[in-house]
């Protein structure tokens, strides 16, 4: 094990300790931090839920999740028993104020055992409608007044729309200081997303090109091959625009479009990002059909397996108008990006899992080669692949070896995959940041509001005008035809990268 500068003593309460997110992501991440020697010397983790579990049964349940979902794929589970010495389960109803003494009792017990006052972290991995009720009860606990040492982590979606997000922000800030509130967006913890900052701001090479003078347009794709995975009840109240665009995709867009930060101070980075959100052109509800496309998958075949359509999924209204696909064209009205379209798209049951950003450069000002020398001469592009491929690739024209002047596009690629299973998962990075009190990769209240403001006209237009053509795309496709038309109107096509061999 390497020797790391580790966070101070911490007690972590996970509301939703019996839920899916903890099973698949949080506990595997915490166990990896433990194996990599990043957990504090003194720590305790308490999962909270109404379900009944003995500690022993709870550990078994969590180990199952670790074996299936950890990046280590079940390797090094030999240290599991050591880890579970720190993990317990508290059966309680988050709506029952009388049960909250269980929390203060555990903190007190650990304080006495360790002889220090620990960080107390409340991770709210529960449905969004439960968040206000739990937050209110936590706010009433005496330990929550202790600024700096008590933190609350709120999962996405943060609110349901601009108004509810605003209310939630008001509620949280009436009980916690801003530096105690960690609004999580797990995309910001991904290694390849963080690397966007390194690529842009540690290299002078790209800066002169990174603007409207050289960039023709930008595409961001966050395609998912999976469907609902049992989350119909949640998705029916969300939809792809809320689930992915309002948060993950707009955050990536901010990192691509933001101005260089003066320092890596949390507020400096967040200021630069919020400037981008505030500069995104507001469209009216009437303009929405020119800028946004929605889709919903039908039943069909997915990699040789028969799957049901969205409206037949469990927990879904058989007449549902919820979007499982969304594509939007954004403009950023500022000096750097005037006139450069940013096309973004996301969807469930698409042809493959692929998250990537491509910057398509303008054509060379004068092309002296014979027209037949190349298939296309607008082929300069920079691709940042976030997942599952993790690489950065520059495409340019090169002479085909031989006696004639024929050109071919070639790729120069940096493979981030080399770190393989050693690269930390997003939730590892973010949980460590919470324990250390570093909010750089978390959303500030004004960022959340600004992101909602960007998508509200689209949400409102979609809610008021039912789609006439749902379902409108087949599983294993790249979404509805209208999404191709959205970008084709401007003379472009979506870039679908070939799958990993």
Which chain residues interact with ligand LXAUTJHC by CB under 6 A?
A: 156, 224, 243
Binding mask 32-71 for ligand NDP (x = CB under 6 A): ----------------xxxx--------------------
Is 50 annotated to bind a ligand? Reply is: yes
Q: Which of 7, 9, 11, 19 binds ligand NDP (CB under 6 A)?
A: 19
Query: In the set 11, 12, 35, 126, which binds ligand NDP (CB under 6 A)?
Result: 126
Per-residue binding string, ligand NDP, 94-113, x by CB under 6 A, is xx------------------
- By CB under 6 A, which span of 89-97, 103-111, 195-203, 439-447 interacts with ligand NDP? 89-97
Under rule CB under 6 A, residue 266 binds ligand NDP: no
Cβ neighbours around 364 below 10 Å, total: 12
Provide the 3-class DSSP secondary structure of residue 121.
Answer: strand
Rounded distance between C-alpha atoms, residue 293 and residue 42, angstroms? 50
Q: Scanning the structure block, which residue is given the tokens 């390797």?
A: 75
Report the 10 Å Cβ neighbour count for 63. Answer: 18
Residue in 8, 20, 201, 287 binding ligand NDP, rule: CB under 6 A: 20
Give catalytic residues, as residue numbers.
248
The answer on whether 353 is annotated among ligand-binding residues is yes
Q: Is 53 helix (H, G, I), strand (E, B) or coil?
A: coil
The answer to whether the annotation marks 329 as part of a ligand binding site is: no
Least distance in angstroms from the C-beta of 262 to ligand LXAUTJHC: 30
Question: Among ligand LXAUTJHC, ligand NDP, none, what binds residue 476 when CB lies within 5 to 8 Å by partner kind?
Answer: none
Region label for 288, one of left (φ > 0), alpha (ψ between -120 and 50) or beta (otherwise) = alpha
Strands 150-154 and 181-183: parallel
Q: Of 228, 225, 214, 277, give the one whose Cα is nearest residue 251.
A: 277
Of 24, 25, 18, 23, whose CA–CA distance to 47 is shortest? 18
Structure tokens given for 112: 């006495």
Q: Residue 63 or residue 288: which is nearer to ligand NDP going by CB?
A: 63
Please choose which of ligand NDP, ligand LXAUTJHC, none residue 425 contacts, taking the beta carbon within 5 to 8 angstroms, the exact cut-off set by kind. none
Strand blocks (E) in 108-262:
119-124, 150-154, 181-183, 215-223
**Which residue sits closest to ligand NDP, CB atoms considered?**
19
The annotation status of 102 as a binding-site residue, yes or no, is no
State yes or no: 285 annotated in a binding site.
no
**Is 268 labelled a binding residue?**
no
Q: Which is nearer to ligand LXAUTJHC, 181 or 241 (CB)?
A: 241
Burial class (CB in 10 A: 0-12, 13-18, 19+), 225: middle
Query: Given the DSSP bridges, would you call strands 391-399 and 381-387 parallel, antiparallel or unpaired?
Result: antiparallel
Tell me whether strands 87-91 and 10-15 are parallel, antiparallel or unpaired. unpaired
137 labelled binding-site residue:
no
The interface partner of residue 450, options being ligand NDP, ligand LXAUTJHC, none and the CB cut-off 5 to 8 Å by kind, is: none
The secondary element (H helix, E strand) that includes residue 484 is: helix 481-488
127 binds ligand NDP (CB under 6 A): yes
Q: Measured from the CB of residue 373, what is the shortest distance to ligand NDP in angstroms?
A: 48
Considering the rule CB under 6 A, would residue 125 count as an interface residue with ligand NDP?
Answer: yes
CB atoms within 10 A of CB 13: 23
Chosen from ligand NDP, ligand LXAUTJHC, none, partner binding at 89 (C-beta under 5 to 8 Å by type): none
Helix or strand or coil: residue 95? coil
Among ligand NDP, ligand LXAUTJHC, none, what does residue 125 contact (CB within 5–8 Å per kind)? ligand NDP
Please tell me whether the peptide bond between 442 and the residue prior to it is cis, using omega within 30 degrees of 0.
no
> Known binding site for NADP(+): residues?
50, 156
Q: Which residues are annotated as a binding site for substrate?
A: 186, 190, 224, 243, 348, 353
Q: Which residues of this chain interact with ligand NDP, rule CB under 6 A?
A: 15-21, 24, 48-51, 93-95, 125-128, 130, 155-156, 234
């Amino acid at each position: 094990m390497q020797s790391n500068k580790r966070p101070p003593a911490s007690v972590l309460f996970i509301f939703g300790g019996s839920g899916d997110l903890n099973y698949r992501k949080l506990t595997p991440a915490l166990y990896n931090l433990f194996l990599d020697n990043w957990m504090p010397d003194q720590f305790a983790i308490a999962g909270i839920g109404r379900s009944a579990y003995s500690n022993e049964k709870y550990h078994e349940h969590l180990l199952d999740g670790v074996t299936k979902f950890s990046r280590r794929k079940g390797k090094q589970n030999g240290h599991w028993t050591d880890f579970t010495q720190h993990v317990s389960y508290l059966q309680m109803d988050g709506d029952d104020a009388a049960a909250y003494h269980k929390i203060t009792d555990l903190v007190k017990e650990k304080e006495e055992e360790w002889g220090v006052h620990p960080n107390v972290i409340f991770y709210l991995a529960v449905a969004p409608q439960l968040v206000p009720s739990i937050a209110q009860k936590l706010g009433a606990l005496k330990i929550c007044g202790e600024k700096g040492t008590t933190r609350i982590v709120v999962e996405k979606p943060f609110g349901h729309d601009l108004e509810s997000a605003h209310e939630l922000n008001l509620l949280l800030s009436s009980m916690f200081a801003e530096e105690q509130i960690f609004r999580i967006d797990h995309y910001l913890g991904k290694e390849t997303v963080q690397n966007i900052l390194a690529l842009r701001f540690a290299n002078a090479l790209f800066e002169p090109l990174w603007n409207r003078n050289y960039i023709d347009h930008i595409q961001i794709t966050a395609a998912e091959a999976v469907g609902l995975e049992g989350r119909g009840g949640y998705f029916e109240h969300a939809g792809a625009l809320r689930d992915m665009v309002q948060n993950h995709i707009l955050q990536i867009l901010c990192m691509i479009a933001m101005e260089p930060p003066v320092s890596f101070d949390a507020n400096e980075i967040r200021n630069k990002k919020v400037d981008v959100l505030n500069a995104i052109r507001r469209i009216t509800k009437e303009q929405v059909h020119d800028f946004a496309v929605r889709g919903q998958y039908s039943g069909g075949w997915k990699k040789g397996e028969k799957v049901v359509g969205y409206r037949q999924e469990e927990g879904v209204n058989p007449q549902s108008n919820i979007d499982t696909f969304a594509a939007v064209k954004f403009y950023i009205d500022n000096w750097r990006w005037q006139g450069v379209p940013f096309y973004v798209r996301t969807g469930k049951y698409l042809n493959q899992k692929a998250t990537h950003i491509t910057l398509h450069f303008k054509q060379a000002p004068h092309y002296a080669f014979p027209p037949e020398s190349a298939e296309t001469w607008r082929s300069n592009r920079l691709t940042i692949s976030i997942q599952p491929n993790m690489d950065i690739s520059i495409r340019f024209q090169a002479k085909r070896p031989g006696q004639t002047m024929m050109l071919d596009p070639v790729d120069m690629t940096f493979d981030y995959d080399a770190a393989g299973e050693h690269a930390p998962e997003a939730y590892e990075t973010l949980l460590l940041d919470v324990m250390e009190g570093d909010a750089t990769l978390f959303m500030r209240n004004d960022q959340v509001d600004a992101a909602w403001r960007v998508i509200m006209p689209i949400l409102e237009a979609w809610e008021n005008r039912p789609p006439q053509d749902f379902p409108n795309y087949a599983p294993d496709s790249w979404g509805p035809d209208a999404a191709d038309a959205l970008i084709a109107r401007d003379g472009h096509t979506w870039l679908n990268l070939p799958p990993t061999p």
